[in-house]
Amino acid sequence: MGFTTYIIKKVLIYFSVLLATLTILYIFTFPILQEVIAKSINFQVAQFSQTLFKNAHNLNSTQIQIAVEKYRESLIIAYGLNQPIIDKYFIQMYNLIRFDFGTAYFLQAPSGSREVGAIIAYYLPNTILLFTTATIIFIVVGTIIGLLSAKSKFWEKIIAIIAVIHSSIPTWWLGFVLIAALAYAVKVFPPGGMTSVPPPKNPFDYGISVLYHMSLPLITIFIVNVGGFAYIVRSLVTSIMKEDFVITAKARGLPDSRILYRHVLRSASPSIATQAILALAGSLGGSLTTEVVFEWPGVGLLTYVAISLNDLPVILGIAYVLTVVLLVGLFLGELVYGLLDPRIKVGE
């Protein structure tokens, strides 16, 4: 199997998984979806009616009512509410693939749009900016620490202890501690938010403000995760250090650093890449508690607000989007894994 065949096979697998996942979600949320669609139609009809009353001065109330009813019927047909359940399924799948989740009950995007897709599209990049950046940093640092700890028994034990301690600390709890210490006691970082208030108008100042405000949550995510990732890398590298080719390299008198970085790291790279990809894919969904603690305007905070307001279209839209984003992340990971694994590139 060559790399091209590998990609085609993965595309088909992940597209099938996506359809299966959306189907399962659709089955379990069918009654809720019907309610959401019905309310979305009512909202669009109300907006259309208001527009006609304001602008169509050449129409009387009876003509406007007829036009409104025709518009309602067209929406019912478009959303498939008058169709058999199997037709409703295909229409819903088509809408979901186009990220058409209907209209929110209460929430709206800063642009004023109440389309669920527009609302999520505003908050999702903020989540990716914070969590994916933090994930990349702890992956790089964790890999370096894991490699170095594999060379020393002392650091091997220290890393194991640090991994247990850090991984057992809830991110939200550490966030509260760091806010109390570094935002209110020492006043080095802001306690929350994404920018200063009001936001700087100059793009450079705006970027600096964002980096300043994301520092504290980024440090929190880094502390909680770096020890665990370093421990995983250390375990992978340690197991490979016992392989015959490493023992042979040592017998030939090659320096430890050359064995570690040229031979051991190359063999461990597909497994390390898999762990890194899973971490990156998970980072795309953010964290509800972390974003609430730091008032970071991402998908997690949006989910919290949507649940508080019982805004069902937004809750369902977030569930669908995060499912798609996770599968896309895992698919990209498969591509990277295929590039790193020499057995796939040569078609074995």
- pLDDT by residue, tens only, the chain of 348 residues: 567 787 888 888 888 888 888 888 778 877 777 777 788 788 888 888 888 877 767 777 788 888 888 888 888 887 777 778 888 788 778 877 777 777 888 888 888 888 888 999 999 999 999 999 999 999 999 988 888 887 777 777 788 888 788 778 888 889 999 999 998 998 888 988 898 888 888 889 999 999 999 999 999 999 999 988 988 888 888 888 878 888 888 788 777 777 877 778 778 887 888 888 888 877 877 788 889 999 999 998 999 999 888 887 888 888 888 888 788 877 877 777 777 766 655 555
Task: State how far the alpha carbon of 298 is from the alpha carbons of 55, 124, 210, in Å.
Answer: 38, 6, 13
Calpha distance 294→173 (Å, rounded): 11
Phi, psi at 103, each rounded to 5°: -110, 140
Instruction: Read off the DSSP letter of residue 215.
Output: H
What is the number of residues in the chain? 348
Calpha distance 57→117 (Å, rounded): 33
Q: Which of 121, 125, 101, 124 is nearest to 111 (CA)?
A: 121
Cα 247 off chain centre by: 42
Q: CA angle, corner 196, sides to 128 and 183, nearest 5?
A: 85
**In the prediction, which pLDDT does 289 show?**
86
| DSSP SS3 for 103 | strand
* Token pair in block for residue 36: 């959401």
Calpha distance 12→106 (Å, rounded): 38
C-alpha atoms less than 13 angstroms from C-alpha of 164 in its C-beta half-sphere: 5
**In the prediction, which pLDDT does 272 show?**
85
Calpha distance 119→321 (Å, rounded): 12
pTM for this entry: 0.76
Instruction: Read off the DSSP letter of residue 199.
Output: P
**In the prediction, which pLDDT does 342 show?**
61
| DSSP SS3 for 186 | coil
Helices 153-167 and 133-149 meet at what angle, rounded to 10? 150
CA dihedral sign, ordered 53, 56, 57, 63: negative
Contact 316, 34 (CB under 8 A): no
Calpha distance 198→186 (Å, rounded): 23
Calpha distance 39→102 (Å, rounded): 9
**In the prediction, which pLDDT does 139 show?**
92
Calpha distance 236→269 (Å, rounded): 9
* Token pair in block for residue 101: 């989740």
